[in-house]
Amino acid sequence: MKRGGPKAVDRRLADLCAEFGLEPDLVEQFGAVLESLADQRSPTAVRDPWEGVDVHIADSLSALKLSELAEANGVIADIGSGCGVPGLILAAALPAARVVAVEAIGKKCDFIAATAATAGISNIGAVKSRAEEWHEGFGTCDVVTARALAPLSVLAEYAAPMLKIGGALIAWKGTPNASEYQAATIAARLLGMSEPAVTQVRPWKQGGLRDLVVMTKLAETPENFPRRAGIAVKRPLGT
């Protein structure tokens, strides 16, 4: 990928803001996030701002094509938030929402909080917790997001207790195979969730296709979920 300087990065950010109907002043906030991610101590492998416009910003914003997210004005939990993506980007793009970055590693939580402060993104906070142990968040979320975290059946088990009825899990996926979707469908029945609904997007012109997967909470989560920490990964539902 041909690299561009700061002005080229800003132009690409401005194009993204125009594409998604976002305020032009978000260019500065997104730019501040990219600067923070460029630090060698940041918890990401993609530090070059020119590449980050696509991998971090465009990829995160692609989910605004979904009404479940574009219309969100309540609580969004970004589970396994890592370097704060997509949580930081969605918080900037959706100022009426409150975003909680749920991350088990304290240093990553600190990074998210520091980046939010630097970028002036005031509607996001970081919580140090495993997803299945964030009890204070159970039943409070309108949307749960997850990018590059776990198989769909595991994500559904993490998200279901957090969501209000009618709320939705939104998962960024590359090219899940049929067995992953089959397991997620079985998990959905056990958890009171809808079957996976897939929207295919191309977040940036030179990039590949990816799936945005939505699973909506239809009924109260059975009391035996989530299982104790680590079990969702060790013994995934539907497999």
**pLDDT tens, residue order, the chain (239 aa):** 456 788 999 999 999 999 999 999 999 999 999 999 999 999 999 999 999 999 999 999 999 999 999 999 999 999 999 999 999 999 999 999 999 999 999 999 999 999 999 999 999 999 999 999 999 999 999 999 999 899 999 999 999 999 999 999 999 998 768 999 999 999 999 999 999 999 999 999 888 899 999 999 999 999 999 999 999 999 999 98
Closest CA to 62 of 10, 16, 119: 16
Is residue 123, in this structure, part of any structural domain at all? yes
Is residue 79, in this structure, part of any structural domain at all? yes
d(CA 169, CA 213): 8
Is residue 99, in this structure, part of any structural domain at all? yes
Measured CA distances, 128 to 37, 79, 225 (Å): 20, 11, 20
What CATH number corresponds to the domain at position 152? 3.40.50.150
d(CA 10, CA 190): 46
d(CA 204, CA 2): 14
- DSSP bridge pairs for 213: 171, 198
- Give the structural domain span for 211: 63-234
> For the chain, what is the domain count?
1
Is residue 33, in this structure, part of any structural domain at all? no
Is residue 57, in this structure, part of any structural domain at all? no
Is residue 96, in this structure, part of any structural domain at all? yes
Is residue 52, in this structure, part of any structural domain at all? no
